[in-house]
Amino acid sequence: MRQLAELPPNLVKYIKPEEAIACALNRLPPLYATSPEGGKRQQEKAQTDLAENIFLAVRQGLAAVQRDP
């Protein structure tokens, strides 16, 4: 996680990345796919349409974990 690398090292040691990831994923819409082609389409959608939402969700996930380590 790039945003995690930008935090101070003394704070990072108290953050569990999997908890921040779970918080971020809970704030994003599901992108289900049932075929490899559908998976590619969903990945493209995430990279184009949802990039800003993903960035903000990760930031919020990190903030949530920082408040309650």
Which has the closest alpha carbon to 1: 22, 25, 20? 20
The amino acid sitting at 6 is E
The residue behind tokens 């945003």 is: 3
For 5-33, how does the pLDDT look when each residue is reduced to its tens digit (9 = 90+)? 898 988 888 889 999 999 999 999 999 99
What's the mean pLDDT in 43-60?
95
Let me know the angle formed at the C-alpha of 45 by 22 and 66, rounded to the nearest 5 degrees.
25
pLDDT for the residue numbered 69? 52
Dist. CA 69–CA 67, nearest whole Å: 6
The Cα 31–Cα 42 span in angstroms is 6
Q: Specify the length of the chain in residues.
A: 69
**Verdict on whether the full-model pTM lies above 0.85:** no
